[in-house]
Structures are given as structure tokens and as C-alpha cells.
Amino acid sequence: MGKPLQSTFLSLSRQFLILIPLLYILPPFWGVLGVYSALPMADVISFVISIFIMAFELKALREMQ
């Protein structure tokens, strides 16, 4: 769709910016469950970020019309 920066940010944010810190933060509190919970939590957080990016892009599209 011509938005390489946004798609690269979303892809990297899930794998590196969110998942790796969660893998360090959650296990001291939840043990092994923290390791297993890190991936679904990273997915949910990246989903919320993608909703905000999509809303911003839709707003920009409406302003262009």
C-alpha cells in the first residue's frame, strides 16, 4: 500500500521492541508462565499499535479528500 516505514515498524516492534523486553520482564514475576505469556502479550500490544497507526492513516486520507 506504499507505506514501507509503517509496515517495517509494526513488524519489528512485535519481534524486537516488544517481545524481547517482555521476555526479560515477565519471567522474574511469573516464572515459566511469563515466558509463555510474552508472545501473546506482544501480539496484543502490536495489534493495539497497528490500530492507532491505521486510525492516523485513515484520518490523513479523509483530510486529503
**pLDDT for the residue 1:** 64
Q: What is the DSSP letter of 31?
A: T
Q: What's the burial of 18, exposed, middle or buried (CB within 10 Å: 0-12/13-18/19+)?
A: buried
Question: Domain map of the chain by residue range?
Answer: 4-64
Give the model confidence (pLDDT) of 4-63 as tens digits.
Answer: 888 888 888 888 999 999 999 999 999 999 999 999 999 999 999 999 999 998 998 899
